[in-house]
Amino acid sequence: MGNHSDGSPNHSGTVATAGQNEVEKFQDPGLPPHRLRLADTDPVAAKRAERQVAILFGTSVIGTLVFLVAYFAIDLGDDTTIATIRTQNLLLGLGTAFAMLGIGTGIVHWAKALMPDHEVSEERHAIRTEEDRQAAVRIVDDIVEETGIKRRPLIRNTLLGAVALAPLPALAIFGDLGPRPDKALAHTMWAPDGDKLKRLTRDPDGTPIKASDVTIGSAFHVIPEGLNELHEGKLNEKAKAVVLLMRLDPNSLNPSEGRENWSYNGIVAYSKICTHVGCPVALYEQQTHHLLCPCHQSTFDLTQECKVIFGPASRPLPQLPIAVDAEGYLVATSDFREPVGPSYWERDEHERLINS
Amino acid sequence: MGLLLTGGLYAVATTVNQAKADTTSYSASDVEEGGKLFAANCATCHGMGASGTNDGPSLVGVGAAAVDFQVGTGRMPMQMSGPQAQKKPAQFNEEQTKQLAAYVASLGAGPAIPEEKLLDGKGDAANGGELFRVNCAMCHNAAAAGGALTRGKFAPGLAGVTEAHIYEAMATGPQNMPVFNDSNITPEDKRDIITFLKTIEANGSPGGAELGSLGPVSEGLFVWVAGLGVIIAFTIWLTSRTS
Amino acid sequence: MSASSTAEAPFVPKTKVGSFTNFVDERVGGSGILREFGRKVFPDHWSFMFGEVALYSFVILLMSGTFLTFFFDPSMAETHYQGSYTPLYNVEMSVAYNSSLNISFDVRGGLFMRQVHHWAALLFVASLGVHMLRVFFTGAFRKPREMNWVVGGVLLILAMAAGFTGYSLPDDLLSGNGLRIIDGVIKSIPVIGTYISFFLFGGEFPGTAIIGRLYVLHILLVPALILLMIVIHLFMVVVHKHTQYPGPGRNDGNVVGYPLGPVYAAKAGGFFFIVFGVLALMAAAFTINPIWNYGPYDPSPVSAGTQPDWYIGFVDGALRLMPGVVNNFHFEWIILGHTLTLNVLLPALVPAGIIFTVLFTYPWIERWVTKDNREHHVLDRPRNAPTRTAIGVAGFTWYCVMWAAAGSDLIATHFHVSLNDVTYWLRTLFFIGPIIAFIVTKRIALALQRKDREIALHGRETGRIVRLPHGEFIEVHAPLDEYKRYKLVGFESPAPLPAQPNEHGVVTRKEKRRAALSKWFFEDRVAPATPAELEAAHAHGHHEAITSGEDQKSLSH
């Protein structure tokens, strides 16, 4: 293909540093000559374009009418079907779409086909001229001089102090947006009420669960007794107290020291709040004994006390110690022995507090 | 005393899912034919007498419901090993499925095929919806469009699944699905859940095409590909020279 | 007002419209404005329109949003649903969720407005993103537009904030779990995390205050800030005038295009209606955010496939990719009795921090490396700035890896692969993806530059093969006219700038670093073809012209 240079730095004669054009380059040939459009030369084409624009505007009118008819002709009430709502939505939408697209495409087609399309060149003005800059500097100097602030440091310093402090009340006044965090994060509703232990109840209806109900392979979603009767703060308590209840073969559980009596005949209860950032860890894989959180895929192994085996969580799920009461219903023998849910700065302190 | 209590409770625990509505009656020939079908098609993995082998679990006590579900949806006989058995066209017809169910049911008591009145879809859809969201949506997605489990397993979408199969899946807990026995979700509640599922399936969405009911991911993909795509097409038209 | 000495007959309007216009003009001075702006020239290219798409989407958001504010109630008080959507009948829920259902099922046009609003929000951020990519790849952020680039970056963050606060308002299960995740991230912040969490939510999560507070942010504070930023942004565009692509007749001292009135205004104005129409079409036929499926927010249930809206996706993806435990090494530490949750803090803060820091400071970084402090009004074609383009694609690839990770479970079910494998692959791509993207993009840009050179010097390959009398086969090339050629050669290709001594004659370490970066930035370059080379190309291998009936087809190769 010849031995002309390929433009690489070692061969090329065209080396230009930023801002410096030392080597001869191609000159700007100026604006290319203007080409006429059909509508510019042929009056029939122009008339056709005009008609097309008019049809587009006409479509818009039809669209508007479709919208108005669909809106007023269809009423919504208790016996409306989903299909009716879907139809009305479609008609309102199509009406709006044609109404808008008709105007838009009409105007654009008008501009493209009929309005003059000569490219024009306009000079750019300097954003700032040297003359303006000098005049501005003079004005600023005059203004500053007239305030006298350079000669009066006392005024300047006290002004700065006042202005720096003045916005603080505007920030401080928002203080009551929230209370200071207390030990609330360390406790859940599972804590016994004096001597009375809280029963494990079904979510959402609150009926108590018998140990015999929980067969191998089951997964129960659990809330503490009394949650549904709360008048205030129900979701706040639920957000810490939700529990998953499952039954495994007792031989596969391997409880660690101190946790031997936290389960009942292979029935175990774990906090459902993920220790990553708080989503419900609700997926129970019956055969693999894994709990999966759907938000970021943290996976916990029930046979290793919900140790994390995959994903971004670091801490195992807290276990709820359970037993059975005189009537055979499952109860929590105590609150969780550590704070539930995502970790926070004071968490270790709270855990020590709970176990003290 | 404690031992008696625990032992007694344990015995009760395994009978909770007994066929409370055991109305399907199988004839002796059903059982016999089922046994032959079983020996020819299932025993390789599940063992003679369904007692289990290294390749397949024991089916004693899984009940007619499990067989009706697994065989009726085509999952069994399993075609290839993988993270889970896939739904595929059923290999056996209704008669044969019934016979297989009869045979397995005869091996040990287990969940029965649900009665028709639990499958009529006339329950309380609102209650069914609440139960579905608490117990099922985390795997199957709030709109029952399906979802991912670990290591290649998944919870399938529920559109087009028969009422009977939905009931049976809840009752038997196929593969990694938990078992929802009648004390966990009562038969009435199961009927409500099925009613809910069939209602939303029949309704469709009032807003138009559902984009798979998969949430913000498909919506985001759609706006980038279709939305921006159409807009870009318009901008190219708008700035192009007309002839 | 001048009562000048020269006798000017005062203007007497002759028509009704004229007298009205005159009335206003005498009091407002519109004539002056019209004189300045009426025929202002704007360049016309489709890639310049993304900013407009964003602006128009915002206007549509304001209009549809205003409608929604008449029907939405942000209260978190408990109520039971009595509306017409039977699968939720009598279900316990917040008033906010209840009112959102009302809008969808019991207000005519309510669902349509909700869908227009949400589709417009997605399009707003998407077009913002594409606009910023265009500005980056064409070098439009250079002097004098650095500050406008920063304002644009602020607009991107505000748009994301507007979207996040907006889709959390219906208090449904999906967005509520999103809020739960945000609270989890906030709680992980050392020292002040729990304070911020209690402050924002008015106590423990979820509390009864958050939706009302997000409402104030969403309908008042954030839109006001966005409007302010848009005004500043457009003001600067007017002052700086718009940039233009290189080409014949275009240079740093002019603007080539169409006058504002009528052509540009007609096209821009018409385009507003087109954007509105496209959004209306989407809202008519495609469901978005079906809150009735998710149910009211409750801390117990969760849906498979829980993701935020797409523009928050990259943060969610980063959260998913980070491992919590690697071979018994935990990323959560207890230091002096306090818990440091790096497995949450690192993915939530570091990637976003890096992306936005580099984004905001890039104009100054490039200025420092290239020492180019001139004004630029002519854009770079991306191939003519290979390193910058490669950096941009690498950054975008990194963003896209995290974005894809947010949909890891859907990728797994859709493509029948293991969820865990998807995560492992994306973790790998998180590190090597940008590097591969950089290398590939740079090579492609350089190759395109070489192709441009070939076309400029030898003309366009026509595909016609001709046999010459003495037996040789050649392909006919059609030489370019001077206008097309100027587009291919009218760019600068700076060489690396070696380290310069400062005013004391010392070469500082910072200057040495700059020189090294300049070398990395510029050393692989393809310079534009010169007239001398074109002469050489013509002289070499020139063959007799064959009359072909078509004009200006000489044979050279």
- DSSP secondary structure code for residue C556 in this structure: B
A120 part of a folded domain: no
User: Is any Cβ of chain C less than 8 angstroms from the Cβ of A343?
Assistant: yes
Alpha helices in B15-122 (DSSP H): 28-41, 43-46, 63-72, 94-107
* Digit-coded pLDDT (tens) for C160-171: 999 999 999 999
List chain C residues with CB under 8 Å of B227: 119, 122-123, 126, 278-279, 282
Put simply, the answer to whether A286 touches B177 (Cβ < 8 Å) is: yes
Q: What are phi and psi of C465, to 5 degrees?
A: -100, 130
Three-state secondary structure string covering B6-28 = HHHHHHHHCCCCCCCCCCCCCCH
**Number of CB pairs, chain B paired with chain C, less than 8 A apart:** 194
Residue C398 identity: W
Question: In terms of domains, do A193 and A275 share one?
Answer: yes
For residue A26, the chain C residues in CB contact (below 8 A) are 485-486, 489-490, 528-531
- Tens digits of residue pLDDT in C468-505: 999 999 999 998 899 999 999 988 888 898 998 988 99
A17 touches chain C (CB under 8 A): yes
Q: Do A201 and A318 reside in the same domain of the chain?
A: yes
Give the pLDDT score at B24.
Answer: 63
Q: Is residue A26, in this structure, part of any structural domain at all?
A: no
Identify from A48, A210, A292, A325 which residue to disrupt to test chain B contact, counting B C-beta atoms within 10 A and taking the largest count: A292
Task: Tell me which chain C residues have a C-beta less than 8 angstroms from the C-beta of A347.
Answer: 339
- How many domains is chain A partitioned into structurally? 2
Distance from CA of A197 to the nearest CA of C (A): 22
Q: How wide is the angle at C-alpha C354 spanned by C-alphas C353 and C355, nearest 5°? A: 95
Nearest CA in chain A to C106: A76
pTM of the model: 0.92
Residue C316 carries which side chain, given as an amino acid letter?
A: D
HEC string of C69-113 equals HCCCCCCCCEEECCCCCHHHCCCEEEHHHHHHHHHHHHCCCHHHH
- Sequence-separated (6 or more) residues with CB below 8 Å from residue C189: A345, C196, C345
Residue A222 domain flag: yes
pLDDT at A302 over 80: yes
**Is the minimum CB–CB distance between A147 and chain C shorter than 8 Å?**
no
- Tell me whether residue A149 is in a domain: no
Neighbours of C193 (CB within 10 A): 25
- Identify whether residues A79 and A196 lie together within a single domain: no
Task: Kindly determine whether residue A117 and residue B241, on different chains, have CB atoms separated by under 8 Å.
Answer: yes
Q: Is C519 exposed, middle or buried (0-12, 13-18, 19+ CB in 10 A)?
A: middle
**pLDDT one-digit tens code per residue, C243-254:** 999 999 999 999
Contact A270, A318 (CB under 8 A): yes
Rounded to the nearest 5 degrees, what angle is found at the Cα of B129, between the Cα atoms of B128 and B133?
A: 120
Report the 3 state secondary structure along chain A. Answer: CCCCCCCCCCCCCCCECCCCCCCCCCCCCCCCCCCCCHHHHCHHHHHHHHHHHHHHHHHHHHHHHHHHHHHHHCCCCCCCCHHHHHHHHHHHHHHHHHHHHHHHHHHHHHHHHCCCCCCEEEECCCCCCHHHHHHHHHHHHHHHHHHCCCCCHHHHHHHHHHHHHCCHHHHHHHHHHCCCCCHHHHCCCCCCECCECEEEEECCCCCECEHHHCCCCEEEEEEECCCCCCCCCHHHHHHHHCEEEEECCHHHCCCCCCCCCCCECCEEEEECECCCCCCECCEEECCCCEEECCCCCCEEEHHHCCEEEECCCCCCCCEECEEECCCCEEEECCCCCCCCCCCCCCHHHHHHHHCC
* B206/A contact by beta carbon, under 8 A: yes
CATH of segment(s) B20-107: 1.10.760.10
Q: Is C340 helix (H, G, I), strand (E, B) or coil?
A: strand
CB contact under 8 A, A287 and B130: no
d(CA C169, CA C181) in angstroms, rounded, equals 16
Q: Which residue does chain A place closest to B231, by CA atoms?
A: A101
* Alpha carbons B171 and B114: distance in angstroms, whole number: 9
Residues B174, B148: Cα–Cα separation, whole Å: 16
Q: Does the structure show a pLDDT above 80 at A7?
A: no
Q: Which residues contact B234 (CB under 8 A, 6 or more apart)?
A: C271, C274, C278
Cβ C275–B231 below 8 Å, yes or no? yes
Among A186, A313, A336, A319, which residue's Cα sits nearest to residue C181?
A313
Distance from CA of B33 to the nearest CA of A (A): 31
C256 to A119: CB separation less than 8 angstroms, yes or no: yes
**pLDDT of C187 above 80:** yes
**CATH number corresponding to B117-204:** 1.10.760.10
Q: Where a domain ends, among A66, A97, A113?
A: A113
What interface predicted TM-score (ipTM) does this complex get?
0.91
Q: Which residue in chain C has the smallest CA separation from B125?
A: C87
| pLDDT tens digits for range C254-310 | 999 999 989 999 999 999 999 999 999 999 999 999 999 999 999 999 999 999 999
Interface membership of A38 toward B (CB under 8 Å):
yes
Query: C241 and A124: CB-CB below 8 Å?
Result: yes
Which two tokens mark C63?
């209009």
- Is-contact A123 C252, C-beta < 8 A? no
Q: Which one has a higher pLDDT value, A55 or B10?
A: A55
Which chain B residue has the Cα nearest residue A323? B6
Are residue A350 and residue A201 in the same domain, yes or no?
yes
Interface test with A, best of B135, B154, B185, B193 (most A CBs within 10 A): B135
Asked if A284 is an interface residue toward chain B (Cβ–Cβ < 8 A), one would say: yes
Chain B residues whose CB is inside 8 A of the A265 CB are 6, 9-10
CA dihedral A53, A54, A58, A64 (to 10 degrees): 60
Nearest CA-CA distance, residue B5 and chain A, Å: 9
Q: Please tell me whether residue C324 adopts helix, strand or coil conformation.
A: coil
Task: Print burial letters for A145-160: b (CB count within 10 Å at least 16), e (below 16).
Answer: eeeeeeeeeeeeeeee
In whole angstroms, what is the distance from residue C162 CA to residue C124 CA?
10
User: How far apart, in Å, do the first and last CA atoms of chain C sit?
Assistant: 70
Residue A70 — very low, low, confident or very high, per pLDDT cuts 50/70/90? very high
Q: CB B220 to CB C304 under 8 A?
A: no
φ, ψ at B172 (rounded to 5°): -105, -15
Residue that wins the pLDDT comparison between B16 and A172: A172
- Give the integer Cα–Cα distance in Å for B203 and B197: 10
Return the residue of B nearest to A219 by Cα.
Answer: B178
pLDDT beyond 90 at A203: yes
- Using the Cβ of A328 and the Cβ atoms of chain B, whether some distance falls under 8 Å is answered with yes
Q: Name every chain A residue with its beta carbon within 8 A of the beta carbon of B131.
A: 204
Which of C312, C409, C309 has the alpha carbon at shortest distance from C352? Answer: C312
The count of C-alpha atoms lying within 13 angstroms of the C-alpha of B217, restricted to the half-sphere facing its C-beta, is: 21
Confidence of residue A356 (pLDDT cuts 50, 70, 90): confident
CA distance A151 to chain C (A): 35
Q: What is the pLDDT of residue C548?
A: 38
Q: Is C407 helix (H, G, I), strand (E, B) or coil?
A: coil
What contacts C79, CB < 8 A, 6 or more positions away? C92, C93, C94, C95, C98
Is C303–B133 a contact, with Cβ atoms under 8 angstroms apart?
yes
Question: Are the beta carbons of A86 and B205 separated by less than 8 Å?
Answer: yes
Q: Which residues of A touch C531 (CB under 8 A)?
A: 24-26
User: Quick check: A114 and A50 in contact, CB under 8 A?
Assistant: yes
Instruction: Give yes or no for residue C552 having a pLDDT over 80.
Output: no
Provide the pLDDT for residue A23. Answer: 65
- Asked if C195's CB is within 8 angstroms of A121's CB, the reply is no
Give how far the C-alpha of residue B21 lies from the chain's centroid of Cα atoms, to the nearest Å: 19
**Burial classification of residue A6, based on how many CB atoms lie within 10 Å of its CB (0-12 exposed, 13-18 middle, 19 or more buried):** middle
Q: Give residue B11's pLDDT.
A: 41
A&B contacts, CB < 8 Å: 110
Q: In which band, very low, low, confident or very high, does the pLDDT at A16 lie, cut at 50, 70 and 90?
A: very low
Cβ–Cβ below 8 Å for C410 and B129: no
Q: Does the structure show a pLDDT above 70 at C184?
A: yes
Percent of chain C with pLDDT over 70: 95
Write out chain B's pLDDT in tens, 243 residues.
Answer: 444 444 444 444 444 444 444 446 788 999 999 999 999 999 999 999 899 999 889 999 999 999 999 999 999 998 888 889 999 999 999 999 999 999 999 999 999 999 999 999 999 999 999 999 999 999 999 999 999 999 999 999 999 999 999 999 999 999 999 999 999 999 999 999 999 999 999 999 999 999 999 999 999 999 999 999 999 999 999 999 887
Burial class (CB in 10 A: 0-12, 13-18, 19+), A261: exposed
**pLDDT value at residue C7:** 59
Closest C-alpha among A65, A72, A121 to residue A94: A65
Q: Return the SS3 of C318.
A: helix
Mean pLDDT within C420-439: 97
Helix or strand (DSSP H, E) at C149: helix C146-168
Please judge whether C270 and A107 are an interchain contact, meaning their C-beta atoms are less than 8 angstroms apart. yes
- Residues within 8 A of B (CB atoms), A 149-178 only: none
Q: What is the pLDDT, as a whole number, of residue C535? A: 85
Beta bridge pairs of residue A330: A324
For residue C286, the tally of other CB atoms under 10 A from its CB is 22
- The pLDDT value given to residue B126: 97
Q: Which chain C residues contact residue B215 at CB under 8 A? A: 174, 303, 305-307
Looking up residue A309, the CATH number of its domain turns out to be 2.102.10.10
B contacts of C87 (beta carbons < 8 Å): 125-126, 128-129, 196, 199-200, 203
Minimal-distance CA residue of chain B relative to A284: B178
Round to whole Å and give the CA distance between A6 and C452. 11
Question: What whole-number distance in Å separates Cα of residue C182 and Cα of residue A278?
Answer: 9
Residues A204 and A321 in one domain: yes
Mean pLDDT taken over chain C: 92
| Whether A215 and B238 lie within 8 Å, measured CB to CB | no
Q: For chain B, how far is it from start to end, CA to CA, in angstroms?
A: 98
Place of tokens 């003005």: A125
Give the closest-approach CA distance of A77 to chain C in angstroms. 6
Residue in A101, A112, A243, A327 to test binding to B, most B beta-carbons within 10 Å? A112
Spatial separation of the C-alpha atoms in residues C100 and C106, rounded to whole Å: 10
A314 touches chain B (CB under 8 A): no
Tell me, what's the pLDDT at B8? 40
Question: Residue C6: what pLDDT?
Answer: 53
**pLDDT tens digits, residue range C92-103?**
999 999 999 999
Mark whether A197 and A345 lie in a shared domain. yes
Among all residues of chain B, which has the CA nearest to that of C301?
Answer: B134
Residue A5 pLDDT more than 50? no
* Residue A144, in any domain of the structure: no
CA distance linking residue A8 with residue A4, whole number of Å: 11
The Cα C286–Cα C274 span in angstroms is: 18
Element (H, E) at C125: helix C110-137
Residue A290 at interface with chain B, using a CB cutoff of 8 Å: yes
Please give the DSSP secondary-structure letter assigned to residue C268. H
Provide the domain limits for residue A256: 184-354
Q: For residue C545, with 0-12 CB atoms within 10 Å meaning exposed, 13-18 middle and 19 or more buried, which class applies?
A: exposed
pLDDT tops 60 at residue C112? yes
Identify the burial level of C487 via C-beta atoms within 10 angstroms of its C-beta, where 0-12 means exposed, 13-18 middle and 19 or more buried.
middle
To probe the interface with B, which of A218, A246, A293 has the most B CB atoms within 10 Å? A218
Calculate mean pLDDT across residues A188-217: 95
Q: Domains of chain C by range and CATH?
A: 1-38 (no CATH), 50-245+261-299 (1.20.810.10)
Of A98, A113, A128, the position where a domain reaches its end is A113
Q: Which two tokens stand for residue C214?
A: 């997000």
- For B143, the token pair is 């709109």
Residue pair A312/A296 in contact (Cβ under 8 Å)? The answer is yes
The angle subtended at Cα C282 by Cα A109 and Cα C212, nearest 5°, is 125
Of A95, A113, A131, the domain-final residue? A113
User: Can you point out the beta strands (E) in chain B?
Assistant: 147-148, 154-155
Contacts A–C by Cβ distance under 8 A: 395
Show the DSSP H helices in C406-476 as ranges: 408-415, 419-458
Query: Are C249 and A121 in contact, with CB atoms under 8 Å apart?
Result: yes
Task: Give, for B135, the enclosing helix (H) or strand (E).
Answer: helix B125-135
